[in-house]
């Protein structure tokens, strides 16, 4: 194994491990579907790889990865500071668009909400919109002024785009309230779904989690 410029401070094996660690994180980021975690992991990988480039005096490696860090940091800044346009649009539960949308994402839906099978014609249905594009769906059955949720699904790319907080904390539930719905209830089919409901202010009530709108 050849000598590195920083052998006096760090062993060649340790320097190579730093390089491998950065590479692993960069590769891992390519397997992720959620945009914000993807960018954070990619930033971490690029920072570590930049350190590796510095340690071995590989300036192209250092410069390239510092540029990658800056690009991801800019997009993360925009994600958390730019105002996105959210909306909750009512649709017919058996609308062809909604049926196709749910069918196309059913494998992902069943990861967090395995009890959901299909949209029923009598369901109350809404489509989440983010900047004019479909971002998810909310389906349920009405019981007086309560919406019993059958499905609350958001596309993986938008699960960190504050849709949940917009709906429950920033006036996004207005279309539901306008329809006479003042309470929403959901069953947690998985630990992931339970944690999401709890983070949105739902309170356990028997076998369901309930929240006032």
**Distance of alpha carbon 100 from alpha carbon 119, whole angstroms:** 11
**Distance of alpha carbon 199 from alpha carbon 197, whole angstroms:** 5
Q: Is residue 41 part of a domain?
A: yes
Tell me which of 49, 81, 113 is where a domain ends. 81
Confidence tier at 157 by pLDDT (50, 70, 90): confident
Which segment of 48-52, 175-179, 189-193 scores lowest on mean pLDDT?
A: 189-193
Q: CB of 102 within 8 A of CB of 152? A: no
In this structure, the answer to whether residues 75 and 99 fall within a common structural domain is: no
Which segment of 6-15, 49-58, 81-90 scores lowest on mean pLDDT?
A: 6-15
Q: Is residue 2 part of a domain?
A: no
Residue 65: DSSP 8-state:
H
In this structure, the answer to whether residues 136 and 55 fall within a common structural domain is: no
Q: CB of 126 within 8 A of CB of 119? A: no
195-207 pLDDT per residue, tens: 889 988 999 999 8
User: Strand 203-205 and strand 183-186: pairing?
Assistant: unpaired
* Nearest one of 34, 155, 133 to 85, comparing CA atoms: 133
**Distance of alpha carbon 73 from alpha carbon 60, whole angstroms:** 20
Q: Is the dihedral of CA 126, 128, 129, 133 positive or negative?
A: negative
In this structure, the answer to whether residues 17 and 99 fall within a common structural domain is: no
What element of type H or E holds 22?
helix 12-29
**Distance of alpha carbon 143 from alpha carbon 180, whole angstroms:** 11
What element of type H or E holds 210?
strand 208-212
Q: Tell me phi and psi for residue 9, to 5 degrees.
A: -100, -35
**Distance of alpha carbon 5 from alpha carbon 163, whole angstroms:** 49
> How far is residue 109 from each of residues 52, 73, 136, 191, 212, measured CA to CA in Å?
40, 30, 10, 14, 25
* Nearest one of 134, 97, 94, 135 to 118, comparing CA atoms: 94
Prediction pTM value: 0.69
| Residue 50 pLDDT exceeds 90 | yes
Question: What is the model's pLDDT at position 1?
Answer: 44
| Residue 101 pLDDT exceeds 60 | yes
121-136 pLDDT per residue, tens: 889 999 999 888 999 9
In this structure, the answer to whether residues 95 and 197 fall within a common structural domain is: yes
**Distance of alpha carbon 72 from alpha carbon 21, whole angstroms:** 19
Q: Is residue 160 part of a domain?
A: yes
| Residue 2 pLDDT exceeds 70 | no
In this structure, the answer to whether residues 57 and 102 fall within a common structural domain is: no
* Nearest one of 146, 89, 96, 142 to 119, comparing CA atoms: 96
pLDDT above 90: percentage of residues in the chain = 61
Tell me which of 62, 81, 100 is where a domain ends. 81
Which segment of 2-6, 141-145, 168-172 scores lowest on mean pLDDT?
A: 2-6
**Distance of alpha carbon 107 from alpha carbon 89, whole angstroms:** 24
């Amino acid at each position: 194994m050849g000598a590195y410029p920083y052998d006096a401070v760090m062993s060649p094996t340790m320097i190579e491990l730093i390089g491998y660690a950065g590479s692993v994180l960069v590769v891992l980021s390519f397997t992720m579907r959620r945009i914000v975690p993807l960018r954070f992991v990619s930033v971490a990988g690029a920072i570590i790889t930049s350190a590796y480039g510095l340690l071995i005096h590989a300036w192209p490696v250092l410069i390239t990865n510092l540029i990658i860090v800056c690009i991801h940091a800019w997009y993360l800044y925009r994600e958390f500071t730019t105002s996105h346009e959210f909306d909750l649009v009512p649709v017919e539960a058996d609308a062809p668009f909604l049926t196709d949308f749910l069918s196309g994402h059913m494998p992902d839906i069943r990861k967090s909400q395995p009890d959901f099978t299909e949209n029923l014609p009598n369901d109350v249905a809404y489509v989440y919109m983010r900047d004019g594009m479909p971002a998810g769906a909310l389906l349920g059955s009405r019981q007086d002024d309560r919406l019993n949720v059958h499905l609350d699904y958001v596309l993986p790319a938008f699960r960190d785009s504050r849709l949940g907080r917009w709906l429950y904390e920033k006036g996004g539930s207005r279309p539901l309230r306008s329809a006479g719905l003042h309470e929403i209830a959901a069953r947690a089919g998985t630990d992931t779904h339970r944690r999401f409901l709890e983070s949105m202010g739902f309170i356990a009530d028997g076998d369901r989690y309930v929240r006032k709108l």
